[in-house]
């Protein structure tokens, strides 16, 4: 059969569970064209499948809670959109596609403000200035590294406060303060999250757990391509 173009026939849907040895797609077309794209396509598919698989492991552990497992901006160049899609396929959520999507005040931003504006507290300065300009059009999130910074930020009522690399004891104190002073503010945990400690974190009264390893270091799923044994290779045309 003469096939002039490459045809991809999907046999499994994104997010569908598969066993080892399962055929997930069939490809028909010129053998030269198929082989020239084989390795790139398999690397791509294996990487994204690894992201979805790892995400699902975290989601399963936290499914009994209200916590959302989210990705971060720690993605590979030019692959952010598809890597974040793979996280959603695995049951996670995406927020903060980039810094412009909503206001994210990070530690570097605060350090720069301290030096530039010559102020004692960059947290109050940053949140107040953004609120005056923003008028509620975008969410405001601020990253804090200790309880003192958390308490300052909490009083100013941002939408989300990210607790960066805080230990469990500090996180629990922050949760109590949030409940007492401003229960509407959401809490995000980030930094050092792994499959070994996610269960302990999932028992806490928090809203988000953002995990960089979902996209920057998942284990790739082994995907391979096999030529059908009944295929006849002639005149440069193949399936």
Q: Choosing from 57, 74, 80, 186, which is the catalytic residue?
A: 74
Give the separation between CA 101 and CA 95, rounded to whole angstroms: 9
74 assigned to active site? yes
Distance between CA atoms of 96 and 99, rounded to whole angstroms?
A: 7
> Which of 56, 83, 143, 188 is an active site residue?
143
- Note if 164 is an active site residue: yes
Q: Which of 57, 73, 106, 155 is catalytic?
A: 106
Active-site annotation holder among 164, 178, 188, 207: 164
Active site residue 222: no
Which of the following is catalytic: 12, 16, 39, 101? 39
148 is catalytic: no
* Helix, strand, coil percentages in the chain from 3-state DSSP, rounded to 5: 40, 15, 45
Burial-class residue 5 by CB neighbours within 10 Å (0-12, 13-18, 19+). exposed
Packing angle, helices 168-181 and 147-155, rounded to 10: 20
Based on the residue annotation, tell me whether 141 is a catalytic residue of this protein.
Answer: no
List residues with catalytic annotation: 39, 74, 106, 143, 164
């Amino acid at each position: 059969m003469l096939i002039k173009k490459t045809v991809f026939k999907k046999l499994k849907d994104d997010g569908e569970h598969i066993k080892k040895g399962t055929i997930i797609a069939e490809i028909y077309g010129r053998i030269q064209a198929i082989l020239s794209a084989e390795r790139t396509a398999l690397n791509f598919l294996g990487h994204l499948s690894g992201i979805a698989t790892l995400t699902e492991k975290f989601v399963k552990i936290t499914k009994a809670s209200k916590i959302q497992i989210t990705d971060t901006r720690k993605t590979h160049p030019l692959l952010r959109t598809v890597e974040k899609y793979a996280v959603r396929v695995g049951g996670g959520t995406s927020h903060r596609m980039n810094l412009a999507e909503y206001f994210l005040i990070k530690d570097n931003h605060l350090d720069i403000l301290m030096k530039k504006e010559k102020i004692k507290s960059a947290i109050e300065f940053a949140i107040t200035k953004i609120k005056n300009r923003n008028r509620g059009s975008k969410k405001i999130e601020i990253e804090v590294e200790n309880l003192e910074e958390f308490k300052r930020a909490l009083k100013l009522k941002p939408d989300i406060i990210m607790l960066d690399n805080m230990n469990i004891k500090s996180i629990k104190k922050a949760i109590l303060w949030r409940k007492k002073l401003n229960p509407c503010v959401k809490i995000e945990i980030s930094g050092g999250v792994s499959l070994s400690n996610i269960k302990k974190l999932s028992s806490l009264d928090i809203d988000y757990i953002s995990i960089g390893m979902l996209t920057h270091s998942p284990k790739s799923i082994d995907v391979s391509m096999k030529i059908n044994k009944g295929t006849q290779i002639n005149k440069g045309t193949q399936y």
